Amino acid sequence: MTDVWTRYFSYLSPRLRSAVQSMQQADTDRLQEIRIRSGRPLAVTVNGKEYFLMISGNLTAYPDQAVKVTKPEIEETFRSVCEYSVYSFSKELRDGYITLRGGARVGISGTAVYENGRLSGMRDISSLCFRLPRQVINCAARLVRETIMKGSGGMLIAGKAGSGKTTMLRDMCRILGSSSRVSLIDTRGEIAGVLHGIPQYDIGTHTDIFDGFPRSDGAVMALRAMTPEYIICDEISTYDEANALLQVFGCGVNIIASAHAGSLDDLMKRKTLRPLINAGVFLNAALLGDGTKPGRVVSIQRMNVV
CA–CA gap between residue 297 and residue 158 (Å, rounded): 10
Residue 98 belongs to domain with CATH number: 3.30.450
What CATH number has the domain bearing residue 269? 3.40.50.300
pTM listed for this prediction = 0.81
Q: Quick check: helix, strand or coil at residue 159?
A: strand
What is the per-residue pLDDT across 195-231, written as a single tens digit (0 to 9) for each? 778 898 999 999 999 998 999 999 999 999 999 999 9
Q: In the structure, how many helices (H) and strands (E) does the chain have?
A: 11, 14
Angle at Cα 244 formed by Cα 255 and Cα 164, nearest 5°? 45
On the question of pLDDT at 48 being above 70, the answer is yes
d(CA 246, CA 281): 7
Which of 70, 97, 131 corresponds to the end of one domain?
131
Whether residue 136 lies inside any domain: the answer is no
Q: What is the pLDDT of residue 3?
A: 66
Domain of residue 173, residue span: 141-302
**How large is the average pLDDT for residues 31-54?**
95
Closest CA to 301 of 181, 157, 204: 157
Q: Which long-range contacts (CB under 8 A, 24 or more apart) does 112-119 make?
A: 119/94
**What is the CB-side half-sphere exposure of residue 52 using CA atoms within 13 A?**
15
Tens digits of per-residue pLDDT, 144-167?
Answer: 988 887 777 789 999 988 888 999
97 burial type by CB count under 10 A (0-12 exposed, 13-18 middle, 19+ buried): middle
The pLDDT of residue 134: 82
Residue type at position 199: P
In this predicted model, what pLDDT tens digit does every residue of 65-81 receive, in sequence order?
999 999 999 999 999 99
Query: What is the CB-side half-sphere exposure of residue 229 using CA atoms within 13 A?
Result: 12
Co-location of 167 and 247 in the same domain: yes
H/E stretch holding 79 reads helix 71-81
Domain final residue pick, 102, 131, 160: 131
Look at residue 306 and tell me whether its pLDDT is greater than 80. Answer: no
User: How does residue 52 score in pLDDT terms, banded at 50, 70 and 90?
Assistant: very high
Query: Is 293 found in the same domain as 177?
Result: yes
Boundary (domain end) residue, out of 88, 109, 131: 131
In tens, the pLDDT along 7-16 reads 899 999 999 9
Contact 143, 288 (CB under 8 A): no
Average pLDDT, the chain: 90
**Is 241 inside a domain boundary?**
yes
pLDDT tens column, 77-127: 999 999 999 888 888 888 898 988 878 889 999 999 998 888 888 999 999
pLDDT confidence of residue 2 = 62
For residue 102, being part of any structural domain is answered with: yes
pLDDT at 1: 54
CA dist 109 and 173 (Å) reads: 31
Q: Side chain identity at 15, as an amino acid letter? A: R
- Amino acid identity, residue 99? T
Separation CA 222–CA 53 (nearest Å): 44
Examine residue 277 and state whether it is found in any structural domain, yes or no. Answer: yes
The model's confidence at residue 305, banded by pLDDT at 50, 70 and 90, is low
First to last CA, the chain: 49
Give the tens place of pLDDT for each residue, 268-283.
888 888 889 888 899 8
Half-sphere exposure of 20 (CA within 13 A, CB side): 31
User: How much is the pLDDT for 135?
Assistant: 85
Where residue 18 falls among pLDDT bands split at 50, 70, 90?
Answer: very high
CA angle 75, 80, 86 (to 5 degrees): 75
